[in-house]
Amino acid sequence: MSTIDTLFKNLRAKGQKALMPFLTAGDPDLDFTAAAIRALAERDCPLFELGIPYSDPIADGPVIQASYCRALDRGVTLAAIFEMLKGVARQVPAPIVTMVSYAIIYRQGLAEYVARAKAAGAAGAIVPDLPVEEARPLADVCRREDFSLIQLITPTTPPERAVRIAEHTTGFIYYVSVTGITGERTELPPELVDNVARLRERTDLPICIGFGISRPEHVRMLAPVADGLIVGSAMVRRMAEAAERPREQVLAELGDYVDELLAAMR
């Protein structure tokens, strides 16, 4: 089993759920990205999603788009991200998965990207722009390497297509809570819980929900039907403040925010 398979097996055995922070690699810089992963792992976040900056991101809202632009403007490279990851992955027990465009993987070469990411300590990849019809080659490489390939299912995905996506997914399914782009929301769709419950009847894979989750009430609503919850824009917005404020203060505030969400999950 992959490290992510093992993680969710252990969480399920204990009746626990995963809170997964999303952090943009290199915003405001890679040192702070590593510091935030270490700090939030100490707060009991069991899994992390690391966004690989890309000039044409898919489905990301303005907060994450802006963070990608800032990182790219500062010259953050894939090689530098992997070097940072190599150091921090040795220091935290939590698996780290990359959110990465298929264009980056394809340009590197499928086997080469997986080998480099795995050597750096990544446990898997979320590939938002890889359609299921083209997923088989990468899925085969990932299965050989015990490297999780996490794919997205949305509220508009037809049931039979959702099953096909699940068949090419390992680690967990990323369920998109809303149609549209990432970003903090005051409310989530009331039908979301039922949608996830129906998907659970079609697959044994863990299901993690992302997009729009930012408040304790969101966590309380979704934790009963999810294996994990992904918090992105709210984390990235707070991380960006480290460019202009004392970093230790920002880290402390990030930790307090995560504690609030974790408390709502229990």
pLDDT surpasses 70 at 107: yes
Domain count for the chain = 1
Those residues whose C-beta lies under 8 Å from the C-beta of residue 187, and which sit 6 or more positions away, are none
Mind listing the pLDDT tens digit for each residue in 144-188?
A: 999 999 999 998 999 899 999 999 999 999 999 876 556 566 667
Instruction: Give how far Cα 175 sits from Cα of 65, 70, 162, 165, 260, Å.
Output: 20, 27, 10, 11, 23
Residue showing tokens 């997009």: 211
**pLDDT at residue 188, as a whole number:** 73
CA distance 165 to 174: 10
**pLDDT at residue 83, as a whole number:** 98
Q: Are 22 and 49 in contact (CB under 8 A)?
A: yes
Looking at 48-52, 58-62, 144-148, 157-161, which range is the least confident one? 58-62
Mean of the per-residue pLDDT values of the chain: 93
pTM of the model: 0.93
Closest CA to 115 of 73, 145, 87: 145
Q: Are 94 and 46 in contact (CB under 8 A)?
A: yes
Which domain does 113 fall in, by range? 3-265
Task: List the CATH number of the domain containing 233.
Answer: 3.20.20.70
Residues labelled catalytic: 49, 60
Q: At 129, phi and psi to the nearest 5?
A: -110, 25
